[in-house]
């Protein structure tokens, strides 16, 4: 019988390590037994002893559960890299986040984090631009990038959409992006939207003297995504946006590889993530997904706001941002594992969801300046409409970075004063 528990085992640099939160069912003897079953099912074992599993295979490929924390219900399993096809995220996840979720011995299972060994990390390109490349492209050096999302999410035609974008850019924002469910609709065709919106971008750049950027949503079946990305690039676009979970991990890998020789930034929208991440006892953490997205090569990724309308606490968001931006991460036993990113560039975190100009002081204090801050309703819901909303956002960031309170700065900036009057009421 193969034993998958070895508390004396020390993971090597060739191991892929996974940390799980585990709640056992009434069918299960104890956490040790559950750990044994998880390690077995995710690798070379099955529910009974089999004649085809030789001692040689077991010796070479069996994983080792080397850490069991009864109090916190956390286990860590080290898998040899030989169990995985390095440049195949779907295969890796089919093992470490696959059948194990359906096992009867488990009441709940949550994949907290993954530590990828060097050989697997080196099989991926990571972000093409990273934070430094995005700063160079946008020419925004010492402040967060500021953006908005076209609202309503769907319903505007191509001309109306482009006008919203132009107003936001003229008001002072750097970026405008599509929302996650706007692709190519009967009332708003992708190709025409790209042409009209990039014309509006050119107008705004000429008027403001600043670089402006549009993030069109190319989410679709993979072949269509490639065609749409090419259309954006051919028409002078410098960004594309992908709904990372709904298109799937293999599509993400391929679109990243396909775009490697093209000068275009990939913005990652995390639509559907909460189906996996929100239950704190089951699923996969946003921290683990953040690590996967940096590995695959997303240049920007939504990670949460802490403030605003979306679920996601301070610890979670800060850890996600740390995973995306830090070159070497140390094991903290409870939520994060060691990770050396080798030559993988950092990913730029994005805060979006229920933000107004009034959130900017807290955003900068908590999350810092290496961020994209996006305001949907907090731009277009301004009493003076989109241009005024964009101006209020830009004024708020200028106030914070100049050491003023919003109220002080609003005395000479009417758009910020109107934003405070609308969203500052209790």
Q: 269 an active-site residue?
A: yes
Up-side HSE of residue 374: CA atoms within 13 Å toward CB? Answer: 28
Dihedrals phi, psi of 407, to nearest 5 degrees: -65, -40
57 CB neighbour count, 10 Å cutoff: 12
What are the CA-CA distances from residue 66 to residues 23, 92, 112, 114 (Å)? 18, 20, 16, 15
Catalytic entry in 269, 291, 359, 422: 269
Q: 32 an active-site residue?
A: no
| Residue 198 structure tokens | 């990039």
Backbone conformation region of residue 241, classed left if phi is above 0, alpha if psi is from -120 to 50, else beta: beta
Catalytic entry in 81, 151, 189, 385: 151
What are the CA-CA distances from residue 121 to residues 195, 217, 266, 320 (Å)? 38, 28, 19, 18
Cite the active site residues: 151, 269
């Amino acid at each position: 019988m193969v034993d998958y528990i070895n508390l004396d085992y020390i993971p090597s640099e060739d191991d892929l390590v996974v940390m799980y939160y585990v709640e056992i069912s009434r069918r299960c003897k104890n956490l040790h037994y559950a750990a044994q079953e998880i390690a077995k099912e995710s690798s070379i074992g099955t529910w009974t002893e089999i004649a085809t599993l030789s001692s040689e295979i077991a010796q070479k490929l069996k994983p080792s559960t080397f850490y069991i924390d009864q109090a916190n219900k956390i286990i860590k399993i080290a898998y040899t890299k030989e169990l995985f096809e390095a440049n195949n995220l779907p295969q890796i996840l089919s093992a470490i986040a696959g059948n194990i979720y359906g096992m009867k011995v488990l009441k709940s299972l949550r994949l907290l984090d993954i530590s990828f060994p060097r050989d697997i990390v080196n099989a991926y390109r990571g972000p093409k631009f990273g934070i430094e490349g995005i700063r160079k492209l946008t020419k925004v050096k010492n402040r967060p990038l500021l953006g908005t999302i076209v609202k309503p999410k769907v319903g505007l035609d191509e001309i109306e959409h482009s006008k919203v974008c132009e107003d936001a850019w003229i008001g002072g924002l750097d970026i405008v992006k599509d929302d996650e469910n706007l692709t190519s609709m009967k009332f708003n065709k992708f190709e025409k939207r790209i042409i009209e919106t990039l014309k509006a971008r050119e107008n705004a750049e000429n008027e403001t003297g600043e670089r402006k950027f549009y993030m069109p949503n190319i989410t679709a079946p993979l072949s269509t995504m490639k065609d749409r990305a090419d259309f954006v690039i051919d028409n002078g676009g410098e960004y594309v946006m992908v709904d990372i979970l709904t298109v799937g991990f293999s599509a993400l890998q391929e679109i990243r590889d396909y775009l490697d020789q093209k000068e275009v930034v990939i913005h990652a929208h995390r639509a559907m993530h909460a189906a996996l991440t929100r239950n704190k006892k089951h699923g996969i953490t946003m921290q683990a997904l953040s690590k996967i997205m940096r590995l695959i090569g997303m240049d920007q990724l939504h990670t949460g706001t802490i403030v605003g309308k979306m679920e996601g606490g301070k610890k979670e968001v800060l850890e996600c941002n740390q995973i995306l931006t830090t070159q070497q991460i140390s094991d903290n036993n409870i939520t994060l594992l060691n990770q050396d990113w080798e030559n993988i560039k950092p990913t730029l975190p994005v805060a979006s969801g229920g933000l107004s100009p009034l959130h900017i002081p807290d955003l900068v204090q908590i999350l810092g300046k290496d961020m994209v801050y996006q305001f949907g309703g907090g731009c277009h819901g301004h009493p003076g409409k989109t241009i005024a909303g964009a101006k209020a956002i830009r004024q708020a960031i200028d106030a914070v970075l100049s050491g003023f309170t919003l109220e002080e700065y609003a005395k000479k900036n009417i758009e910020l004063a109107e934003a405070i009057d609308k969203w500052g009421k209790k």
